[in-house]
A = this chain, B = another copy of it.
Amino acid sequence: MKKANITIKDIAKELGVSPSTVSRALKDHPDISQETKNQINDLAKKLNYQPNTVALSLRQSKTNTIGVIIPEIAHFFFSAVISGIEDIAHDAGYHVIITQSNESFEREVMNTKALFNSRVDGILMSVSRETENYEHLQSLLDYDIPLVFFDRIIDSLNACKVIVNDEQGAYEATTHLIEQGCYRIAHLAGPQNLAISKNRLNGYKAALADNRYMIDDNLIKVCGLGTFEEAESITNEILDYRFPPDALFANNDVAAYGAMMAIRKKKLRIPEDIAIVGFSNWRFSSLIQPALSSVTQPGFKMGQEATRLLMKQINKAEDEESITETISLKTNLVVRESSKKI
């Protein structure tokens, strides 16, 4: 026996008043007498009246929904971002529609179109790896759909952006090692065609320079494949130097893990013989790798900040000049083990 959905009309008919009165009473409009208000509210509760948001959306041309387009949901970083998005959106009374592009350009375009058709009030997005054509995104801007990019942004588009300051993170990580008293710090770098890897290398170099350390190219090794076996063998190579490093800054967790393996096999201790800090997105890295310090990307915060920016845009008056902000988030340095100094 399916219960029927109660509408404002039903309540109005039952009470012999007009739908508008009911509508007003339910939102506590001052024009309505307390008596009718009470009647209406009581009946509404009794019938378990639930307002139809769809009708409201149509009426107000506002869905109270934001759309999210990400490359991949089942990735710790992105799921943390989604969580941050939901957090802020929920508090602001917004729903969140999630779509994933699976790194496919075609699907990304489909998703933008679908979200547009759903008349979401704004879109948060991290572009797919394949995306090189920005028509679909420019189109959103043309229609004045509030749009905020996060993590994988498009520099050339005039929209709000939230990114992680990788260079600063690398700088901080390297500085941390320096402060621990390390004097020969190697870097397992990432492929230099990626901005992210380049930024991290730059941060590493800047930290060395600021502390009047020599930059030794022999201590900077690019891990092009991204496998941990590669990192392991490169680390091995470095450890065999006549003057091996006493610290290592890894571009990512895979490299850090490979380095750790190599070091352990040589029966060296971490961090006493050689300290490691690596960039990491693994949620449980603290549990798994208690020996490694890490620099983590603030995914949850990124989601929050991006959503805040979006809300600001959504709520700005029609005529206000829209300002495109870019927020650069600090990374977190998580120190796992007592320092060398102590």
* Complex contact A86–B58 (CB within 8 A): no
Copies per complex of this chain: 2
Q: Which of A2, A80, A83 has the most CB of B within 10 A?
A: A83
Q: In the complex, which residues of chain B have a beta carbon less than 8 angstroms from the beta carbon of A63?
A: 54
Kindly state the interface size class of chain A when it binds its partner. Answer: 35 or more
Any B CB within 8 A of the CB of A287? yes
Any B CB within 8 A of the CB of A55? yes
Binds B, one of A115-123, A215-223, A239-247: A115-123
**A75 nearest in chain B by CB position:** B79
* Complex contact B83–A90 (CB within 8 A): no
* Complex contact B79–A90 (CB within 8 A): no
Of B58, B82, B114, which one neighbours A74 at CB under 8 angstroms? Answer: B82
A 235-271 binary contact with B (CB < 8 Å = 1; else 0):
0000000000000000001100100000000000000
Q: In the complex, which residues of chain B have a beta carbon less than 8 angstroms from the beta carbon of A53?
A: 117-119
Binds B, one of A92-100, A181-189, A194-202, A326-334: A92-100
Any B CB within 8 A of the CB of A299? yes
Given A74-B82, A79-B74, CB of A96 within 8 Å of CB of B98: yes
In the bound assembly, the distance between CA atoms of A293 and B91 in angstroms comes to: 42
* Complex contact A288–B83 (CB within 8 A): no
Of B50, B90, B257, which one neighbours A287 at CB under 8 angstroms? Answer: B257
A 47-72 binary contact with B (CB < 8 Å = 1; else 0):
01011111101100001010000001
Q: Which of A53, A65, A289 has the most CB of B within 10 A?
A: A53
In the bound assembly, the distance between CA atoms of A79 and B5 in angstroms comes to: 33
Any B CB within 8 A of the CB of A113? yes
Given A63-B54, A79-B75, A117-B53, CB of A95 within 8 Å of CB of B97: yes
Q: In the complex, which residues of chain B have a beta carbon less than 8 angstroms from the beta carbon of A253?
A: 284
- Could you show 5 A-B contacts with beta carbons less than 8 Å apart? A73-B79, A74-B76, A86-B99, A90-B99, A282-B283
* Complex contact B287–A228 (CB within 8 A): yes
In the bound assembly, the distance between CA atoms of A117 and B53 in angstroms comes to: 6
* Complex contact B57–A54 (CB within 8 A): yes
In the bound assembly, the distance between CA atoms of A253 and B288 in angstroms comes to: 10
Q: How far is the CB of A144 from chain B (nearest CB, A)?
A: 4
* Complex contact B76–A76 (CB within 8 A): yes
Given A50-B116, A54-B63, A117-B51, CB of A144 within 8 Å of CB of B99: no
Q: Which of A54, A96, A228, A257 has the most CB of B within 10 A?
A: A54
In the bound assembly, the distance between CA atoms of A299 and B75 in angstroms comes to: 13
Known A74-B283, A288-B288; further 18 A-B contacts with Cβ < 8 A: A2-B144, A5-B143, A50-B116, A53-B117, A54-B118, A54-B119, A55-B58, A73-B86, A74-B80, A75-B79, A82-B98, A95-B97, A95-B99, A96-B97, A97-B98, A253-B284, A257-B287, A282-B284
